[in-house]
Structures are given as C-alpha cells and as structure tokens.
A = this chain, B = another copy of it.
Amino acid sequence: MRHAPLGSITDIPGIRVGHHQRSGRGWQTGTTVVFAPAGATPGVSVRGGGPGTRETDALHPENLVELVHAVCLTGGSAFGLAAADGVVAWLEERRLGFPVGAPDHLIGVVPVVPAAVVFDLGRGGSFAHRPDADFGRRAIAAARRSQPAWGSVGAGTGAKAGGLQGGVGTASTTVSITGDTIGTPGIDTDVVVGAIAVVNANGSPIDPTSGLPWAAQGLGLRRPSASDRARLTAALDGQAAGETSLNTTIGVVATSAALTKSEVTKLADVAHDGLARAIRPAHSMFDGDTVFGLATGDADLGHQPAAMRSTVSRQRALNQILTAAADTFAAACAHAIIAADRRGALPSYGELCPSARR
C-alpha cells in the first residue's frame, strides 16, 4: 500500500512537503511542513472544538496578509506550536516573508507561518517529548517537490485514529474546467487540487460493515476477508470502549488555481466535508480539526475583466474546485490510514487487513 494512486499535494507546481520525526527512546512525534517557495494565497477553516493554532487570524479574508510561504502541521499539542518558530527562522534566513520597509529599501521580512497541532503527547512513552523549533526547521529544510513519504511520518508519527494507527496521507485530483465555463471559449484550463492530511481522530476512519476506509472510493482496495474484518472489528470495538481522548485531524488543501483569500477560505471550509466523510464522527469537542488552504495561482480561472470576476461562470469553476477539494481531502485521509505502520501499541490497518491490498 505504498503507492499513491490518487497522487500527491506536490503535484501542484510550487508546493513542496517535508517531514521530520523522532521515534523510540520515549519519542513518537513529528512535524510536517507544506512549503510554497513562491508563496501562496492562504485561507483557513477551524471546525474542531479543541483547536491549537497559530497565525490563523492573519488568514481571515478581511485581513492584510495575502501570501504565506509555509504551513506547519505538528504533533505535540499546544507545546508543538514551537515547531513553527523554526519554520519562521528558516524562512527569514531566505528572505521569505511579509516585507518590511520601503519597496526600494527592504529592512527585513516577517514570515507568517500558520500552524495547527495534533495531540500525541505520551504516545512514545514520554509526555515531555514534543516537537520544538528544531523539528520545524528540519521539516521545512527537508521539503521537496517529489511525492512525500506518508503513513507514520512527520506530524503523523504519533497519530492514532479510532483504535488504529493514524498517520499522514496525501492525494491530488486534476479538474478540467472548460473554456465555455470560464469565458475562454475553446481554451480549457486544468486545475490541480491536492491535499495532505494528518489523521489523528477520535472518530473511526473505517466503515465497520465493509471493513474498508469510509473514503475508500477510488483507492482500488478490495473488500477484506471475513477473518480480516473480524480482527478489524475487534480493534475498532476496543477503541469504542476506551475513554474519549484528545485527537485532531489537520491538513492542507491546495490548488494551482489563482484564487482570492475569500475563495481559499471557502476551499478550506469545504475540504472539511471530505474530513466528515472520511472520519466518523468528526469535528468533536475533543478534536481540533483545522484545514488550511493554499492557492498557488498558476491556473487562472479565466481572464475576465475585473467587473466580471464575480460572475456565475467563475463561481461555477470554483465549485468544481470545491467539489474536488472535499473528495481529495477525503482520499488523503484514507491514504493516511492505509499507509500507517504500527509504531506502538496500536495495530495498523494494513496489518489487520492484508486482504484489502490491491
């Protein structure tokens, strides 16, 4: 289950992903950074009841910041917010951030690095082992254009989900928007939508009836055997009997389209529909479910004059992207689960259901 049939968020030009993690000797946590070297238009939607976040207010559509260069997803609960400090420092060293000073006399930059955390404290044995600034610095330094590792890596290293090992997953979709839709007759535009999700959910990612991930559609998995399903059911029931704990699914949905901040905010919000389909229940009071949006702006949704930019045709094109955002985020969540490895006491889906392998 190492192959990503649905692609990766790095299929979007200008988007890179890096992980850093530590396991063993009481550790089981990490950090994942989504890096946009040329910047991206940001948005965010916080829908969980227990979020741990940083720099989300700056992303609201009415506010100043129009461009960010990185988003930090990390373990460590509120302590893990320190990982973003390392991302900020790394970006500043490269002069990437909000410019300060006159246009012809740049004094410095202020990198705005939105961040969200998952709760994985104590999963490796020590409650005191959490990502710090160095994790963030190493994660962004490791960011590459190529398909990132997924499963039990980065911010998903200590993740669990409904009695199973959680993890990081990614996916991408290409949306073809016809020229007729966006007012460029005869010239269609391909838009890439990608997602990366850190699944660390109170809810279950698995449909107990089929034994497949809720969001298995298109993943090419086979229905697991009766004996595999029985083992899976036992694991899921074990979780159901356990106490409620702090968990969270966080991620990034990105697109190659040129979107406004308001549109990226909508993108992040609709991606939560994918989360809702992939994890059941979701958005609980103990989840800090947060999705960031990024638009790199390579694909224009049509070259209408300014007065036409809010036309129905643009909204129709945007709707295609929103639909893909929800589906792609759901696929990323499913990928996280099927790619996870056993790291601690929790079984992994792949281990319980080998018969589901393609």
Binding site for B on A (CB under 8 A): 46, 48-58, 60, 62-65, 77-79, 81-82, 84-85, 88, 92, 97-98, 100, 102, 107-108, 110-113, 119, 121-122, 127, 133, 243, 246, 285-286, 288, 290
With A and B bound together, what is the CA distance between A87 and B61 in angstroms? 30
Known: A55-B52, A58-B51, A84-B81. A102 touches B243 (CB 8 A): yes
Interchain CB contact under 8 A, B55 and A53: yes
Closest residue of B by beta carbon distance from A115? B54
Interchain CB contact under 8 A, B56 and A56: yes
Known: A107-B122, A121-B110. A49 touches B78 (CB 8 A): no
Closest residue of B by beta carbon distance from A76? B110
Closest residue of B by beta carbon distance from A245? B100
18 extra interface residue pairs, beta carbon distance < 8 Å, beyond A50-B65, A78-B113: A50-B63, A50-B64, A51-B57, A51-B63, A52-B55, A53-B58, A55-B78, A55-B81, A56-B56, A57-B290, A58-B288, A64-B285, A64-B286, A77-B110, A78-B88, A85-B85, A100-B127, A102-B243
Copies in the complex: 2
Interchain CB contact under 8 A, A64 and B49: yes
Known: A88-B78, A111-B78. A54 touches B51 (CB 8 A): no
Interchain CB contact under 8 A, B53 and A57: yes
Q: Shortest distance in angstroms between A58's beta carbon and chain B's nearest beta carbon?
A: 6
The 3 closest A-B pairs by CB, nearest first: A50-B64, A51-B57, A108-B127
